[in-house]
Amino acid sequence: MSLYSKRGVSAQKDDVHAATKNLNTGLFPKSFCKIFPDVLGGDDAWVNIMHADGAGTKSILAYLYWKETGDVSVWKGIAQDAIVMNLDDLLCVGIYDNLLFSSTIDRNKNLIPVEVLEAIIGGSQEFFDKLKGFGVNIKYMGGETADVGDLVKTIAVNGTMTARWPKSLLITNEKIKAGDVIVGLASFGQSSYETEYNSGIASNGLSNARHDLLQKTYGARFHESYDTSLDEHVVYIGPHLLSDEISIDNKQLAIGKLLLSPTRTFAPVLKVLLEEHFDAIHGLIHCSGGGQTKCLKYVPENVRVVKENLFEPPIIFQLIQQASKADDREMYQVFNMGTRMEIYTNEKDADTIISVSKGFGIDARVIGRVERSEKKELVITTSASILTY
């Protein structure tokens, strides 16, 4: 059993998929988000989409960092995480403008004071204001903030995003075919619209990252930061403190800041691509829950996805793997490993897509290809192994 499973979480979310297997899959079963007819407007040429996601257990890291440093601004990053995990999923069906967002914050009032709520809510509006400068308009509709200390030990930050969109401007992944190449956009570095280095961690796999990297002292001091019914052999078993520093690009960065790098949105990049190169995009996959295996759920049945030129995993993933002793197979199932957005396209259009991404300071490259196959499978080549899923 993997460490992820022993900690009561699942990268593949098999139980969730089993529970929802009988639900309507929407108009386009392979689309990254579920798409429904236009109930809101009653127009056959339009569709409705509603998506829910959140920052996950990353809020526990923010809690630990805030308790140690007193830096309440770290919660603004959690606000961004909850927004981007919704927004970048919707980008994958072609939606990048005129969105509605409602937040859901559940907190233990005894541990989470009003200044934390103010940082999260204010940080949400600040992020929407920044996106507006790139032509990505999201209306903040408020939401629900509940004091539920009997249910939540610290705080859970989630949200729901809704859109009405023309059916002719959807990306449904139905055009993905053998012969396509895959352009990968890097999750790490510093884009032109970010103020500091981004580790690339995003908002998936943080249960593993937290427990594998951080020392036992965090469990001893902050019982509220983990499930106390877990086997202590999987709780805070790492070598590091949040304040430990790592050198990146001749700068010293704290491990706590690397773990809390706000999830990068690719909205500015994809807005340009979707407006100016729509026909070149055959499919879009956000490598979120399930990491590099996410694509298996959304590509056609008769293809093999070959990823043989992924980015070298940035330092945060190297640190996690060194501390956990996890093999490549588990790492690539849990984490994005430095490549978080996949664009399926023609070989002739790849250079244009790469150029647009690099124009925003985000590295991009052809990471693989799509082949014809009798059965759907994924093959990943790393520096040490060849993985087949």
Q: What is the DSSP string of 91-128?
A: HTTT--SSEEEEEEEEE-TTTS-HHHHHHHHHHHHHHH
Contact criterion met (CB below 8 Å) for 356 and 191: no
CA-CA-CA-CA dihedral for 231, 293, 357, 84, to nearest 10 = -50
Q: Is residue 64 part of a domain?
A: yes
Q: Is residue 206 part of a domain?
A: no
Q: Please enumerate, as own/partner, the contacts of 220-223 that have beta carbons within 8 Å and a separation of 24 or more.
A: 222/63, 222/64, 222/67
By residue range, what is the domain housing residue 268? 3-195+261-388
Q: 206 exposed, middle or buried (CB, 10 Å; 0-12, 13-18, 19+)? A: buried
Q: Is residue 355 part of a domain?
A: yes
Q: Is residue 248 part of a domain?
A: no
Q: Is 371 helix (H, G, I), strand (E, B) or coil?
A: strand
Looking at residue 74, its pLDDT comes to: 98
Looking at residue 132, its pLDDT comes to: 98
Contact criterion met (CB below 8 Å) for 197 and 359: no
Q: What is the pLDDT along the chain (389 residues), one digit of tens a residue?
A: 666 577 767 555 566 557 667 677 899 999 999 999 999 999 999 999 999 999 999 999 999 999 999 999 999 999 999 999 999 999 999 999 999 999 999 999 999 999 999 999 999 999 999 999 999 999 999 999 999 999 999 999 999 999 999 999 999 999 999 999 999 999 999 999 999 999 999 999 999 999 999 999 999 999 999 999 999 999 999 999 999 999 998 999 999 999 999 999 999 999 999 999 999 999 999 999 999 999 999 999 999 999 999 999 999 999 999 999 999 999 999 999 999 999 999 999 999 999 999 999 999 999 999 999 999 999 999 999 999 99
Residue 155 makes CB contacts below 8 A (sequence gap 6+) with 59, 63, 105, 106, 107, 108, 111, 112, 116
Q: Is residue 239 part of a domain?
A: no
Q: Is residue 208 part of a domain?
A: no
Q: Is residue 251 part of a domain?
A: no
Per DSSP, the residues of 54-99 read E-TTHHHHHHHHHHHH--TTHHHHHHHHHHHHHHHHHHTTT--SSE
Per DSSP, the residues of 202-226 read TTSSHHHHHHHHB-THHHHH-GGGS
Q: 67 exposed, middle or buried (CB, 10 Å; 0-12, 13-18, 19+)? A: middle
Q: Is residue 203 part of a domain?
A: no
- CATH number at 187 reads 3.30.1330.10
Tell me how far apart the alpha carbons of residues 336 and 288 are, in angstroms, rounded to a whole number. 7
Q: How many domains does the chain have?
A: 1
- Please, what sign has the CA dihedral across residues 261, 235, 85, 349? positive
